[in-house]
A and B are shown apart, each in its own frame.
Chain A
């Protein structure tokens, strides 16, 4: 795939362009080593030398709820990536999961575009 010219677009557009190209990328500050999510122009520490790195996709469920509606239900989870950042996501293949469950990211393409979702990791297979 072609390189995303991240210097010419903002971090949100860059993240979305990477996702459209099938890559789950997060930011990392060169000077401090800290990872940043969601993407922005300055890290919480104040560092601005942010570059894009491939996320490992390994994470842990930090919190989870199931939204119930007449048309069906879906879970919404906060997942702590092993890099130390948190993101909102969902575990589409299960109704819900225990807090602390290990999960692995994949990119799911929906009618509204690509998104990062997570699947439970079988502890035996890990």
Chain B
């Protein structure tokens, strides 16, 4: 089957994060550099082995050029595709294509940000949309609040259900020593948090942290000769219809409804095969939208699906086990941290939060204002 030719063709053989949470005194590139060095070491390779570079950040106009220079690389192939927080799920696909085509032999995917210590606000190079500017939207939250308002009106989704998403994320974060927001959190605290953009409060928003991550991919046959536990690429797909929220056809259905099936078809898996769902939770509504669009529950049922701790530790479906963008880390473009957690779980290295029999993980990246949607599916050796 031609659409499955990429399944299992590449593997993540090195993965690392750096500066998770707060890293005062370090620039975005210094954090990225730390993550890259650690990921290459984890792969059992040297920096000189890297001949493919894939990067996107919120602070570099030409990210691959900056990374190449900083790390002293001379890559044969490079790709700075920037589709916001979903860039890195797309980079897994691009890197696999480049490896399989023989255009490079060792691909580095990397990201770094110091937005928390640099200013404490979301850093973005995103340009205003001229037809939106007269109304002073505060993107990204205005866009996500609009989507939430529509989901509530159409499906009866409630603020209490949004709070269940935040509480589940905190529950997982409390099992993760690397998570930035740890400690008890009650539903009352979430519901009484400061309203920012109705109906979303501060507790419905992801963190603003520092952080960097990097991973190294090689062709699958080479992965066996390297020291680490390989995590195999099983499939990936993207879908994108819009840039500005006004052009999103239906605010209650994202393009994940297409990227998810594309990735699952390539991987030859269905929802019931997924042991871990890592979905980009920039806001609490995201988790609900993506669980629906990726087929874990019917459209409109996401709010009811997350009730009663179903996605919290001990629940039926393991979702965002690092604590997510809501409680673990969110340096601006979070997509590579989804992959970092999936790799940790698939390798059985997730410590106290390790889920049992984790063989297949789905990583769903979201970019812009529910705009670019990229899904990647990873698995361990047993499912090849």
Contact = CB atoms under 8 A, between A and B. Distances in A.
Interface in A24-58: 37-39
B150 A76 contact: no
Nearest to B139: A76
Interface string B130-157: 1110111110001001111110010000
Contact of B251 (A12, A74, A78, A100): A78
Contact of B131 (A88, A100, A112): A88
B197 A90 contact: no
A65 B197 contact: yes
B196 interface: yes
Contacts of B137: 67, 76, 88
B134 A110 contact: yes
A77 B132 CA distance: 10
Given A88-B246, A96-B198, A100-B153, A65 B135 contact: no
B146 A64 contact: yes
Interface residues of A, number: 27
A86 interface: yes
Contact of A99 (B132, B153, B200): B153
Contact of B135 (A37, A63, A100, A115): A115
A6 interface: no
Nearest to A79: B246
A68 B197 contact: yes
Most buried by B among A65, A90, A110: A65
A76 B247 CA distance: 15
Interface residues of B, number: 28
B245 interface: yes
Contacts of B150: 62-63, 99
A66 B145 CA distance: 9
B246 A86 contact: yes
B142 to A, nearest CB: 5
A7 interface: no
A68 B205 CA distance: 14
A86 B130 CA distance: 15
Contacts of A74: 136
Given A63-B146, A63-B150, A90 B198 contact: no
Interface in B51-98: none
A90 B133 CA distance: 11
A44 to B, nearest CB: 9
B185 interface: no
Nearest to A65: B145
B131 A87 contact: yes
A81 B138 CA distance: 23
Interface of B: 130-132, 134-138, 142, 145-150, 153, 194-200, 244-247, 251
Interface of A: 12, 37-39, 62-68, 74, 76-78, 86-90, 96, 99-100, 110, 112-113, 115
Given A38-B247, A65-B197, 18 more contacts: A12-B131, A62-B251, A63-B146, A63-B150, A63-B251, A64-B149, A65-B142, A65-B199, A67-B142, A68-B196, A76-B137, A76-B142, A76-B146, A78-B251, A89-B135, A90-B135, A99-B150, A99-B153
7 contacts: A38-B246, A65-B146, A65-B148, A67-B196, A90-B135, A99-B149, A99-B150
Closest 10 CB pairs of A and B: A65-B145, A115-B134, A38-B131, A99-B153, A63-B146, A66-B198, A63-B150, A88-B246, A88-B132, A63-B149
